[in-house]
Amino acid sequence: MRHLLSVADLGADGLDELLRLTESFVEVSARAIPKVPALRGKTVVSLFYEDSTRTRLSFETAAKRLSADTMNFSVASSSVKKGESVRDTVETVAAMGVDAMVVRHGSAGVPWQVARWADVAVINAGDGWHEHPTQALLDCFTIRERKGSLAGLRIAIVGDVKHSRVARSNVLAFSLLGAEVTLVAPPTLLPPSLAGWPVAVSHDLDDVLPKADVVYLLRMQRERQTEALLPSLREYTSLYGLTRDRARLLGDDAIVMHPGPMNRGVEIAAEVADLPGAVITRQVANGVAVRMAVLFMLLGSGGDLGA
């Protein structure tokens, strides 16, 4: 059984193939009837142990546009409240005969465990601080749509890298596709070690912005910050927020991205999110097409995802 757990599993070729397949699903999504019968009779279940709006709805929309049946599971209204373990829940759901599980969990590695426990295709929709591969795919697709290719692009990833699974997956994906990645963050919001990361590091956003083709702002993840990593949010915004003044440093063709949900006024100014260079709603739209491609690749194509 094949899964999508990490961007690293895909490799450059797998990424490229998925992005190419996504184009077909962008076309499907643009039609008057945006639905194809490709996954009729397949069942996709979302197993979300963490809150989510866009990822869960995006996967659900993607599955429905492929004519798959969808089931939803959220912790708040499930037997998890009665103390059921993840393994028992997974085995129970698998016994109902599902074809794919879309898993989000607050702990890194849970999707790998699920793949071991159940004989279904598993898609990692975010595991702790670790990875969020479909986010990286939709970001790569959005950049390609605007820039043609990622090769040689200078991409700045700004903000709370330490707690960000989006950053980890994107660093992998961007560098696999040939972009130069610079992380911009205060030292307290960087991981303790960056050994082996194919990135440059800067603490000066004003210096990085004029040279950047893509500015990727991360959400300040206040719910994951257990200690005082910042003197104050205001100080963070004044040094690392993409304020209106700072946005003037951007090149004319630079694009601004954010995985959502945005903290307007913290990492991004309210007006900046609405500037022409901001592709944030485009990211959401492409997210559906990318997830259709992933589901189709795993359940429909008979093709192989990566190695």
Partner 1 sequence: MDAEDLRRAITRIAHEIVEHNHGLERVVLVGLQTGGVPLARRLAETLRDIEATEVPVNTLDVAFYRDDIGLRPVLPEAVTDIQSDLTGCTVVLVDDVLFTGRTVRAALDALNDYGRPRSVQLAVMIDRGHREVPIRPDYVGKNLPTRRDEMVDVGQEGVEVGSMQK
In the chain, the amino acid numbered 81 is: K
28 binds partner 1 (CB under 8 A): yes
Contacts of 25 (CB under 8 A, 6+ apart): 65, 288, 289, 290, 292, 293, 296
Torsion, Cα of 5, 10, 14, 15 (10° steps): 80
Tokens describing residue 196: 């082996």
Q: How far is the CB of 26 from partner 1 (least distance, A)?
A: 8
27 binds partner 1 (CB under 8 A): yes
Residues 152-181 that bind partner 1 (CB under 8 A): none
Stretch that binds partner 1, among 26-34, 183-191, 193-201, 252-260 (CB under 8 A): 26-34
The smaller minimum CB distance to partner 1, of residues 32 and 228, is found at 32
**Please, is 9 exposed, middle or buried when counting C-beta atoms within 10 Å of its C-beta (0-12, 13-18, 19+)?**
middle
Selection from 175, 218, 177 nearest residue 199 by Cα? 175
CB atoms within 10 A of CB 302: 7
User: From the list 1, 12, 13, 23, which residue makes contact with partner 1 (rule: CB under 8 A)?
Assistant: 23
1 binds partner 1 (CB under 8 A): no
The smaller minimum CB distance to partner 1, of residues 21 and 215, is found at 21
Selection from 237, 232, 240, 235 nearest residue 208 by Cα? 240
Q: How far is the CB of 303 from partner 1 (least distance, A)?
A: 5
73 binds partner 1 (CB under 8 A): no
Stretch that binds partner 1, among 206-214, 236-244, 251-259, 297-305 (CB under 8 A): 297-305
19 binds partner 1 (CB under 8 A): no
The smaller minimum CB distance to partner 1, of residues 31 and 222, is found at 31
Residues 29-58 that bind partner 1 (CB under 8 A): 31-33, 35-39
The smaller minimum CB distance to partner 1, of residues 34 and 260, is found at 34
Tokens describing residue 295: 């589901």
Q: What distance in Å separates the CA atoms of residue 117 and residue 86, rounded to the nearest whole number?
A: 10
CB atoms within 10 A of CB 148: 9
Q: What distance in Å separates the CA atoms of residue 114 and residue 124, rounded to the nearest whole number?
A: 10
For partner 1, the binding residues (CB under 8 A) are 21, 23-24, 26-28, 31-33, 35-39, 66, 296, 299-303
